[in-house]
Structure 1
Amino acid sequence: MYLGIDLGTSGVKALLIDDRQEVVGSASGHLDVSRPQPGWSEQKPSDWIRATEEAIAGLKAKHGSQFAAIKGIGLSGQMHGATLLDGSDEVLRPCILWNDTRSHAEAAKLDADPRFREISGNIVFPGFTAPKIDWVRNNEPEIFERLRKVLLPKDYLRLWLTGEHISEMSDSAGTSWLDVGARKWSAELLEATHLDESQMPSLVEGTEPAGTLRADLAARWGLSGKVVVAGGAGDNAASACGMGTVRSGQAFVSLGTSGVLFAANAAYRPNPQSAVHTFCHALPRAWHQMGVILSATDSLNWLSSITGKSAADLTIHLGEGLRKPTGVIFLPYLSGERTPHNDAVIRGSFTGLGHESDAAALTQAVLEGVAFAFRDSLNALTAAGTMLTRVTAVGGGSRSRYWLKAIATALGLPVDIPEDGDFGAAFGAARLGLIAAEGADPHKALTQPTTAETIEPVADLTAAYEDAYRRYRALYPAIRRTM
């Protein structure tokens, strides 16, 4: 048996698979986000452990005998979080999360140093780890002086599980300290933020062993023998491992809280000016590129909260057939935007509203706005040299066929829907646990699920969607000038 642990923003999921990679069961533990000031987003690392214990207890209660046979554990986690530890591994302050934008000034300053884009292959985004540490140095100097180790969220869980300070390439690529092409920490970039390599965890590939489960935890969980903990992956790379998106040209579109257009690459091809993320994959000698939008299903959830109708109720009233855009345009920049604008200040908007603009029109505009944001990401990927011919849909929002039709038509690409099953980050983490424990061939283990259905672009609406997308693109600079 092999366990995947996915540390998300809203919860921890534990998923158990057998040696045939069939899911035995899963359980979860809840997490809350603290927002003490506008633009801030934090969690206590102790809550991650509490939620993991909850998930493990739930899994053991339902699948005790299978759980006792675990031989490998893989980790996945929300990326970019800054977990600060002192010399005794005590947490110095709450973790600053991926969607925290307080360090936008520090990010801009670091990004103006050409070494960061040249070595890391990426823009220094406000959500990345390095500018957060620079913010702490500028605003909490007493904390910075005591800082001895910086860990990403899932790697703090690894410290608890194994006692080791270890990370892996895919997650570390999102810190702005990794030489992504060489797959190692950059002493030059660390020095630019007043740090050195002694304050970083050691690095392994995601498929490699990265410690073993502590004896006291193994005994408490009823496990015997050596339990290997894999390097694991950041959440998007772990989802790619779950989906088998590991070969060049394979891609998925993720409709979660945030949105991701993810493409696997066999070579390192950075193009930071496009605002595309170019990161290491969880496999050796592999990379990936991502266009990232910050508010995907979060946009629909926001509309749900102000209308008092559930997201499902809002979308069901649109029916099955894709509608022609109405002229109402929604910019989904509720928390700023990454690809293609790298703008922490911009905010969302509706334009083109009239007396006839009812809840259905607003819902349609929200779905279209997110679809057009994915089109921006596709254009950015193309500019970075990655050409896609189709994508696979994952995430909670992919349950809406209407939304997938809008995305297919906006992208001009077929969208594949996998067969029923759990192929997300926790499943990918469990697969990495299997590979590390058994020494399995990653390319043989990380297969793709069967496609249950393919949604093609709606040809009759292609021209109307192109026209609406042009109007969508024109709105960002106009709105930005007013802020």
Structure 2
Amino acid sequence: MYLGIDLGTSGVKALLMDEVQRIVGSATESLTVQRPASGWSEQDPDAWIAAADRAVSRIAREHGLSRLRGIGLSGQMHGAVTLDADDRVLRPAILWNDTRAHAEAAALDADPVMRRLSGNIVFPGFTAPKLVWMAEHEPDLHARVARVLLPKDFLRLWLTGEHVSEMSDASGTAWLDVARRDWSDDLLAASGMRRDQMPALVEGSERSGMLRDALAREWGVEGPVTVAGGAGDNAATAIGAGTVSGGQGFVSLGTSGVLFAATDRFLPAPETAVHAFCHAAPGMWHHMGVMLQAAAAIEWLAGITGTPAATLTADLGPQSAPGPEIFLPYLSGERTPHNDAQVRGLFAGLGAGSDRAAMTRAVLDGVAFALADNLHALRQAGAGPDALLALGGGARSDYWLRSIANALDLPVLLPEGGDFGAAFGAARLGLMADTGAGTEICTTPAIASEIAPDPALVPAYSEGLARFRALYPAARS
């Protein structure tokens, strides 16, 4: 048996699969985010451990873990977990969608060594500027930092007692030489950090340690359990979806929105604001266009209107051309293609006849238009998938997938029922670390349907995209 543990922003999911990759069961425990100031986003790392323990314990009760042989980890990227010399947490973790360090990020990004070695813009959400912010605003705490871990790697410390990370997650710190797949002393020094403050590095499919005896006894495990390096959430999703070869890609409609394309070479293009990261598969890299609000945008509208998101989308009726209402989904800034932590969202084109359905359509189309911007950036960076597998909670909306197909003028593939997300990918990495298997086990899911662009609507979506793009300067100012 193999266990995948995915540490998300809104919850921890544990998924159990057997030796032939059949899903046996899963359990999810919720998490909350604290926002003590505008642009801040924090979580208590101990809450992650408590939630993971509850989720795994529930699987142990319901399905049994006596035959568990491997565990893989995936998680939200970029978060800064700062530990003292005794591995005590110094402050709440600063998360991926926290923009407080935008000035520090800009200062780091102005140093040519950063883009040259990391291959990426230093985004405000990355880990390095968070530590510079701490040095400037919390110097006493910063002076006590003995180790910095990424969120899923804090779970690994609990599971194994080891300080270890892996290549895909480390790519988003601005401390990794992504081409060489190793920490860079020059990048670390640029933000006042040292190599001894970093965890050891392994590939995502390699062993990072063994499950501690105390947890094995608690969960009823009878033999040794290998803990894999794992992956950042999107690379883990790619392992789960079988996106491990050049030219393959997916669109993920979770809290954030991601366009992911696997590559067999490191092709940095920081000027496009595309992320060029190591893949969880050895010898592979990937490109990502990342927007900070996808399903989160429709959940925001649901909260404003007091209507469940599923009800909002169910009320839309048949697919139609974009209306006069345009929504920019920059509620907490944006990454690709703008790298703009200060921009905020807006509605435009509202009239007396703009009702709840029109605003819902505008939000869904706005995310689709932002994804079209991401696709353009990916193509500029040298990646261009011919079709996109649709994943994430937002993929349950047929209207939204049709909007994306029309806005991107690209087929969208809907997999057959099943779980192909980050927790499943993490479990696959656990299997690979335990058995030595390679990416040949990362098969792609069967396709239930293909949503092709509608020739009658693509021109209208192209015109809507032009109006969407014209609004960015107004939002920026």
**Interval containing the TM-score (normalised by the shorter chain):** over 0.9
- Matching residue of 1:447: 443
Q: Does the residue aligned with 2:3 lie in a helix, a strand or coil?
A: strand
Deviations 1:119-162 (A, max 9, x none): 00100000000000000000000011111100000001101111
1:216, distance to aligned residue in structure 2 (A): 1.4
- Matching residue of 1:115: 113
- Matching residue of 1:341: 338
Whichever residue aligns with residue 24 of structure 1, its letter is V
Give % identity: 61
Q: Is the 8 A contact 2:60 2:220 kept in 1?
A: no
- Matching residue of 1:11: 11
1:397 and 2:394 matched:
yes
Whichever residue aligns with residue 403 of structure 2, its letter is A
- Matching residue of 1:46: 46
- Matching residue of 1:59: 59
- Matching residue of 2:413: 416
Distance 1:441 1:102 in 2: 40
Deviations 1:326-366 (A, max 9, x none): 11110000111000011111100011111111111111111
1:224, distance to aligned residue in structure 2 (A): 2.1
Distance 1:193 1:338 in 2: 21
Distance 1:398 1:28 in 2: 19
Equivalent residues in 2 for 1:314-463 (5 A)? 314-319=312-317, 321-442=318-439, 444-463=440-459
Q: Does the residue aligned with 2:172 lie in a helix, a strand or coil?
A: coil
Q: Is the 8 A contact 1:340 1:376 kept in 2?
A: yes
- Matching residue of 1:468: 464
Q: Does the residue aligned with 1:170 lie in a helix, a strand or coil?
A: helix
Q: Does the residue aligned with 2:157 lie in a helix, a strand or coil?
A: helix
- Matching residue of 2:196: 198
Whichever residue aligns with residue 452 of structure 2, its letter is E
- Matching residue of 1:477: 473
Identify unmatched segments of 5+ residues in structure 2.
none
Q: Is the 8 A contact 2:210 2:226 kept in 1?
A: yes
Deviations 1:388-435 (A, max 9, x none): 210000000100000000000001110000010011100000000000
Residue-pair matches, total: 477
Q: Does the residue aligned with 1:459 lie in a helix, a strand or coil?
A: coil
1:307, distance to aligned residue in structure 2 (A): 1.0
Distance 1:84 1:23 in 2: 35
- Matching residue of 2:309: 311
Out of 276, 281, 284, the position equivalent to 1:283 is 281
> Which portions of structure 1, spanning 4 or more consecutive aligned residues, are displaced by more than 6 angstroms?
none
Deviations 1:260-302 (A, max 9, x none): 0000000000000100001000011100000001110111111
Whichever residue aligns with residue 412 of structure 1, its letter is D
Equivalent residues in 2 for 1:11-410 (5 A)? 11-64=11-64, 67-319=65-317, 321-410=318-407
1:464, distance to aligned residue in structure 2 (A): 0.7
Distance 1:108 1:135 in 2: 12
Deviations 1:354-392 (A, max 9, x none): 111111111111110000000000000000011221000
Whichever residue aligns with residue 345 of structure 2, its letter is G
Distance 2:219 2:362 in 1: 49
1:226, distance to aligned residue in structure 2 (A): 1.5
1:218, distance to aligned residue in structure 2 (A): 1.0
Q: Is the 8 A contact 2:67 2:223 kept in 1?
A: no
Whichever residue aligns with residue 60 of structure 1, its letter is A
1:479, distance to aligned residue in structure 2 (A): 2.2
1:225, distance to aligned residue in structure 2 (A): 2.1
Distance 1:460 1:2 in 2: 47
- C-alpha RMSD over aligned residues: 0.7
Distance 2:427 2:150 in 1: 19
Please say which of residues 309-318 and 151-160 is displaced more in the overlay.
Answer: 309-318
Q: Does the residue aligned with 2:371 lie in a helix, a strand or coil?
A: helix
Distance 1:309 1:4 in 2: 33
1:50, distance to aligned residue in structure 2 (A): 0.3
1:195, distance to aligned residue in structure 2 (A): 1.0
Distance 2:365 2:320 in 1: 10
Identify unmatched segments of 5+ residues in structure 1.
none
Whichever residue aligns with residue 358 of structure 1, its letter is D
Q: Does the residue aligned with 1:301 lie in a helix, a strand or coil?
A: helix
Q: Does the residue aligned with 2:58 lie in a helix, a strand or coil?
A: helix
1:478, distance to aligned residue in structure 2 (A): 2.2
Q: Does the residue aligned with 2:82 lie in a helix, a strand or coil?
A: strand
Q: Does the residue aligned with 1:155 lie in a helix, a strand or coil?
A: helix
Whichever residue aligns with residue 389 of structure 2, its letter is T
Distance 2:393 2:223 in 1: 37
Distance 1:100 1:136 in 2: 13
Q: Is the 8 A contact 2:66 2:223 kept in 1?
A: no
1:69, distance to aligned residue in structure 2 (A): 0.6
Distance 1:420 1:371 in 2: 23
Q: Is the 8 A contact 1:42 1:96 kept in 2?
A: yes
Q: Does the residue aligned with 2:223 lie in a helix, a strand or coil?
A: coil
1:310, distance to aligned residue in structure 2 (A): 1.2
TM-score by length of 2: 0.99
